[in-house]
Amino acid sequence: MSVRHSPEKTASAPNVPTSEIKSPSNYNISRNKKRRPTTPVPKLQEMSKEGTSEMHDIFNQFVADHDKKVNMILSSLKDIQQTQDKIQTTMTFLSEENVELKNRLMQMELQSKKDNEKIILLESKLEDSQRTERKSNIEIRNVPLKGHETKKDMLDMINQFSKYIEVEITKYDIKDVIRTNKNKKDKKNLTTKASRLYFLARELQATKRYKYCWTSYGKIYLRLDDNTPIITVTNEAQIHQLANK
């Protein structure tokens, strides 16, 4: 008869309940891991402080530069404003001065107009006076000149002439005696102004084909033809107006 032998029990696996297995209190189980090498890295707090300080410095520098530029701009604007104020003041002064000059010019023109009117009136009165005086003038032509002639010589000649024509003339009847230039043919009984007007009137007669131009009692007259009215010439402006027609 065969005999079965039961397998032998190994000491490595005792039949001990797991609940009864206890480990010593000072026993630590740890894994065998590789440690990373340590480097001298600053702490986060220190890095934050340094970064904040650097940003603060940059910001302060930016603000300082910005304030400097703003101050420069404000200074320039102030200079520009002062310049504009000066220009405005100058323009105001010039404008007021211009108004004053215009007023003065208007007053001067008005005064000049009044003066011209007064001058024309005085010239007219003088012309009438001279014309009246010349009504008593006597013109003797073709009298030969004898050497150095004095007023006494001319008075004596007039006295002899009056006796010849049997007209009694005394020295008290003669206000003045003069010998005129023989070439001044247009000055018979005409004043200086009338002689000038007569000269201009004859030029107008030639250019505008006036048929008549003559003098009578010291006055100058023009007439275009037999069917037009007679024009009495009194001043140069009138002749210019007639020339421009």
CB 202 within 8 A of CB 241: no
What is the pLDDT at residue 46?
64
Q: pLDDT of 47-105, one tens digit each?
A: 676 777 778 778 888 888 888 888 888 888 888 888 888 898 888 888 888 888 899 99
Which SS3 state, helix, strand or coil, does residue 143 take?
coil
Residue 177 burial (CB count, 10 A): 14
CA–CA distance, 225 with 201 (Å, rounded to integer): 15
Structure tokens at 166: 């049997």
Taking alpha carbons only, the member of 141, 130, 140 closest to residue 217 is 130
DSSP 209: T
Residue 22 burial (CB count, 10 A): 7
Q: pLDDT of 100-156, one tens digit each?
A: 889 999 999 999 999 988 888 888 888 888 777 777 777 787 888 777 888 888 888
What is the pLDDT at residue 7?
47
pTM, rounded to two decimals: 0.42
What's the per-residue H, E or C state across 67-86? Answer: HHHHHHHHHHHHHHHHHHHH
